[in-house]
Amino acid sequence: MARRLYVSESGRKRVIPRDAVLIYDEIEEIKARKGFNSLWPNVRFKHKFKKRKGKIYGLPDGSLLITAPYPLWDIFEYDE
């Protein structure tokens, strides 16, 4: 799969497949529910995107690629 380099406003480099199709140009929020093997099984979460700068691309295999010019999440350590 051919890839193209995308440089965000912050200067971070990302690679987006060349045959990816832009589906959504502005993401406001994503609502999702955690799986049963999670630390929070069946709990619902809402992820809001800053300034609506996130994008969703469709890939040839049917999967989705979510990108943004900033980190989409922080790394957390949880007590088990």
Burial 7-36 (b: 16+ CB within 10 A, else e): eeeeeeeeebeeebeeeeeebeeeeeeeee
User: pTM to 2 decimals?
Assistant: 0.67
Which residues sit opposite 3 in a β-bridge? 17
Domains of the chain: which residue ranges?
3-67
Convert the pLDDT of each residue in 29-80 to its tens digit.
889 898 999 888 998 988 888 777 889 999 999 999 988 877 776 665 555 5
